[in-house]
């Protein structure tokens, strides 16, 4: 009998509510201290496989399971939940679903308290986990007031305090800024080196490859397509489905014949009429709290496609919530189409600005996807024909055709995120604002909706230029800024530290690193080739210029 921590043999599962198999005939085993990267596009079965490992299948998700999942030689289906929780520590994709306590210390202590450990042991474990993740400064904070990335780190600390032998991490980088993601990955690598078995389910494959996972498991349509080392690009892996280092993509594309032409630049309708203006804006939540925004000046014009970059907790979401009137400045003012937001209702502002929240659970409430998408247009008094056309176009943009009657909260995190984007698209506001639009999205899906939104092909208007005067997205995905933005804002130290064309702002690598933005292989390659290209391009388009 092997003493491997995890052995999966001929595992197949079908959800009771769906006709197709979710995973089929999965077999592999993991050794102690191994770090396995699991990749593949949304819906390929990664999360279902994770649920079979941590025992949520068959407990919380019903269906037909065949084959076996052995943890330290014991079948998962026969173990009790408290035993499972000490053996497998799970970090969920959406930290909102994992956080239960009102303050950070209590949240991280929640697991060991439930094990009935002595107080000194609990405090010691909490201190160690916080130190390991560099979050001691969050110790006394309320969980409600944390940024998405800070919540992700707190949830991870809570998993570490349980001291599990197997760590199962489902999209742990989704909400983290690039420097925090790099630090988290280093923690995962060191945990594996100390003997823990680490399973990392991640769309950000390029980031994950940097810590040299022992093996990569690549899935398509519920089956294993590749399982093995990743020193270079295995031919079984489709570069359009997962995000790979730019030089690998260029090599792959150059091997194709003919090399694709570079994508056309979006046509930009520029005008001098500003849509949103921030004038000397300061903001704090109350007199006893520190400033979050300080002396912010910003003008958003027609035709702007703005990427907002900067570290977790810097105030990027707070900045955007001022534009949509959810927050009002402590000092200074925000004008939307020339009107002070203090004098406008949120409903009035919604006609001008559509906002996609970072966490989909903050937005979704309707029983079906279709009703979710009808809510905004109905309140804005669309006529039925316009509403139907707008909803159909929005669903197609985010690749959710056929999901109209599904309950939104029953969808995967990535599908929920796309539902919230579609709901805002359907409202046809003048400005589209998206907070982390690609979190939880696979590369193929987010490329599809960003291309449909931003790029004009064969002479037709893009959805953006047809329906929105400008777009702003907050992102930790630097490549999104490189590929789609025509203007980049770098946010840090409570205000905007750089604002300009991507080619100008992103060439200052020292400044990027200061504000926790790590240059990617795509940025480096674009900077190297800028003399030939004249502008930033996606990796496929660089193949025609690279030597």
Residue 92 pLDDT: 83
Topology given in CATH for the domain delimited by 6-244: Rossmann fold (3.40.50)
Q: How far apart are CA 237 and CA 251, in angstroms?
A: 13
Q: Is the pLDDT of residue 122 over 60?
A: yes
Per-residue pLDDT reduced to its tens digit, 487-502: 999 999 999 999 999 9
* pTM attached to this predicted model: 0.84
Every domain of the chain with CATH number 3.40.50.300 lies at 6-244, 274-501
Q: Is the pLDDT of residue 462 over 90?
A: no
CB atoms under 10 Å from CB of 3, counted, come to 9
CATH superfamily for 274-501 is P-loop containing nucleotide triphosphate hydrolases (3.40.50.300)
Please choose, from the candidates 225, 162, 171, the residue with its C-alpha nearest in 3D space to the C-alpha of residue 202.
171
Please name the residue that has the structure tokens 């160690």. Answer: 128
Provide the H-helix boundaries in 435-547: 443-454, 463-467, 478-484, 502-505, 509-514, 521-533, 539-542
Residue 257 pLDDT: 63
Residue 350 pLDDT: 87
The H or E element spanning position 218 is: strand 215-220
- The mean pLDDT value for 107-116 works out to 93
Q: How confident is the model at residue 1 (pLDDT cuts 50, 70, 90)?
A: very low
Q: How confident is the model at residue 344 (pLDDT cuts 50, 70, 90)?
A: very high
Residue 19 pLDDT: 83
Q: How confident is the model at residue 482 (pLDDT cuts 50, 70, 90)?
A: very high
Residue 132 pLDDT: 92
Percent with pLDDT over 70 in the chain: 95
Please choose, from the candidates 68, 69, 64, 77, the residue with its C-alpha nearest in 3D space to the C-alpha of residue 15.
64
Per-residue pLDDT reduced to its tens digit, 141-167: 999 888 888 998 999 999 999 999 999
Is there a cis peptide before residue 517, judged by omega within 30 degrees of 0?
Answer: no
30 burial type by CB count under 10 A (0-12 exposed, 13-18 middle, 19+ buried): buried
Measured in degrees and rounded to the nearest 5, phi and psi for residue 295 equal 55, 55
First to last CA, the chain: 52
Q: Is the pLDDT of residue 397 over 50?
A: yes
- The mean pLDDT value for 215-237 works out to 91
Full DSSP string of 327-392: S--SEEEEEETTEEGGGS-HHHHHHHEEEE-SSGGGT--SSSHHHHHHHHHHHTT--HHHHHHHHH
Per-residue pLDDT reduced to its tens digit, 28-67: 999 999 999 999 987 889 989 999 999 999 898 999 999 9
């Amino acid at each position: 009998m092997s003493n491997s921590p995890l052995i999966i043999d001929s595992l197949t599962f079908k959800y009771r509510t769906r006709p197709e198999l979710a995973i089929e005939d999965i077999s592999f085993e993991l050794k102690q201290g191994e770090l396995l990267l699991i990749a593949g596009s949304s819906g390929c079965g990664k999360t279902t496989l994770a649920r079979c490992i941590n025992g949520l299948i068959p407990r919380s998700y019903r269906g037909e399971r065949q084959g076996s999942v052995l943890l330290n030689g014991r079948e998962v289906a026969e173990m009790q939940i408290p035993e499972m929780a000490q053996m497998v520590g799970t970090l969920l994709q959406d930290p909102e679903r994992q956080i239960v306590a009102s303050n950070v210390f209590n949240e991280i202590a929640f697991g060991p308290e439930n094990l009935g450990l002595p107080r000194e042991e609990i405090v010691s474990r909490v201190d160690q986990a916080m130190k390991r993740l560099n979050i001691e400064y969050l110790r006394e904070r309320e969980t409600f007031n944390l940024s998405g990335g800070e919540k992700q780190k707190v949830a991870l600390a809570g998993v570490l305090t349980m001291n599990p032998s197997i760590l199962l991490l489902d999209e742990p980088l989704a909400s983290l800024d690039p420097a925090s993601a790099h630090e988290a990955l280093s923690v995962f690598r060191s945990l594996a080196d100390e003997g823990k078995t680490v399973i990392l389910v991640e769309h950000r494959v390029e980031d994950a490859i940097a810590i040299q996972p022992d093996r990569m498991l690549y899935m398509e349509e519920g089956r294993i397509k590749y399982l093995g080392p990743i020193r270079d690009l295995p031919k079984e892996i489709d570069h359009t489905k997962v995000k790979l280092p730019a030089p690998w993509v260029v090599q792959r594309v150059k091997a194709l014949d003919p090399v694709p032409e570079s994508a056309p630049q979006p046509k930009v309708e520029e005008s001098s009429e500003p849509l949103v203006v921030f004038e000397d804006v300061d903001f704090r939540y109350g007199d006893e709290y520190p400033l979050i925004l300080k002396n912010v000046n910003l003008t958003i014009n027609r035709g702007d496609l703005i990427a907002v970059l900067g570290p977790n907790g810097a105030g990027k979401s707070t900045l955007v919530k001022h534009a949509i009137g959810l927050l009002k400045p402590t000092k200074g003012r925000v004008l939307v189409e020339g009107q002070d937001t203090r004098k406008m209702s949120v409903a009035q502002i919604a006609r001008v600005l559509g906002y996609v929240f970072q966490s989909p659970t903050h937005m979704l409430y309707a029983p079906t996807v279709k009703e979710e998408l009808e809510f905004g247009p109905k309140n804005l008094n669309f006529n039925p024909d316009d509403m139907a056309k707008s909803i159909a176009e929005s669903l197609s943009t985010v690749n959710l055709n056929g999901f109209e009657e599904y309950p939104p909260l029953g969808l995967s995190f990535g599908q929920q995120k796309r539902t919230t984007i579609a709901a805002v698209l359907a409202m046809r506001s003048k400005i589209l604002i998206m907070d982390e639009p690609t979190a939880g999205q696979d590369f193929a899906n987010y490329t599809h909706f960003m291309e449909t939104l931003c790029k004009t092909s064969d002479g037709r208007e893009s959805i953006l230029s047809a329906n929105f005067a400008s777009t702003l997205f907050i992102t930790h995905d630097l490549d999104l800024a490189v590929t789609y933005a025509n203007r980049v804002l770098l946010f840090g130290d409570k205000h905007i530290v750089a604002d300009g064309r991507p080619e100008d702002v992103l060439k200052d690598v020292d400044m990027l690193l200061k504000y926790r933005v790590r240059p990617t292989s795509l940025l480096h390659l674009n900077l190297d080739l800028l003399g030939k290209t004249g502008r930033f391009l996606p990796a496929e388009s660089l193949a025609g210029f690279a030597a």
